[in-house]
Structure 1
Amino acid sequence: MKKRATVICRRGKRILLVARSQSKWALPGGILKHGEHISAAALRELKEETRLSGKSAKYLFDFRGKQKHHHVFSCEISNRAKARPSNEISKCRWVHLEDIPRLLTSAPTTDIVKLMGQRRKK
């Protein structure tokens, strides 16, 4: 099972999602490069996909999807920073948490966002 660094960026009740062209919305992230630390991969993928520089990646939890093992991190982003799609990503946007169930998202994205919400309530 491939390891993936997955990033959650929040601004209040909004979360950053990205999408490739003709694809579902997903959380930023990607597969680790050989010898790369998971938190470094999270920051690298965020920058590659959205041009945002995260201050640090804080580990939240692991999530095992059907094909990938997600190591989920939260990232602090400056409120003035603007997300711009880059590399394979064709669009990115800040989405209200309540709107996520109505969007066409990858299965792991919906599950990870739900888990995040459950953990915050504890």
Structure 2
Amino acid sequence: MKRRATVICRRGNRILLVARRQSKWALPGGLLKRGEHLSDAALRELKEETRLAGKSAKYLFQYRGAQKLHHVFFCDVSKRAKPRASNEISRCRWVQVEDIPRLTTSAPTKVIVKISGEKRNSSRGK
């Protein structure tokens, strides 16, 4: 099973999604390079795909999809930074969390966003 660093960037109630040409929306991220640390892969992929420099990558959880093991990170980015599609990505945008179930996304994207919201809400109650 391939290991993937998957990134959640959040601004209030919006999450950053990316898409390749003629493809479904997904969370930024990608496969690890040989010998690369997970958090470094998360920050590298975010920068390669959106030109955003993450301040840090906080590990959240892992999710096993059909073909990939997603290591999910939260990356904090500057509030003024604007994502721009780069590398193999043709579009990126901030999406309201409640709109994600209605979008055409990769299957893991919807599940990962849902889990991250549940974990976020349960940590607030502590």
State the alpha-carbon separation in 2 of the partners of residues 112 and 104 from structure 1: 15
State the alpha-carbon separation in 2 of the partners of residues 76 and 117 from structure 1: 16
Q: Which residue of 1 aligns with 2:116?
A: 116
Moved over 2 A (4+): none
State the alpha-carbon separation in 2 of the partners of residues 11 and 115 from structure 1: 17
What residue ranges of structure 1 are gaps of 5+ in the alignment? Answer: none
**Amino acid corresponding to residue 45 of structure 1 in structure 2:** E
State the alpha-carbon separation in 1 of the partners of residues 120 and 74 from structure 2: 12
State the alpha-carbon separation in 1 of the partners of residues 89 and 34 from structure 2: 22
Q: Which residue of 2 aligns with 1:40?
A: 40
Number of residue-to-residue matches in the alignment: 122
Q: Give the CA deviation at 1:102.
A: 0.6
Q: So what's the TM-score if we normalise by structure 2? A: 0.96
Q: So what's the TM-score if we normalise by structure 1? A: 0.99
Q: Cα RMSD (Å) of the superposition?
A: 0.4
* Superposed CA offset, 1:58-87 (max 9, x none): 000000000000000000000100100001
Q: Give the CA deviation at 1:118.
A: 1.1
* Superposed CA offset, 1:19-59 (max 9, x none): 00000000000000000000000000000000000000000
Identity over the aligned pairs, expressed in percent? Answer: 75
1:16 match: secondary structure = strand
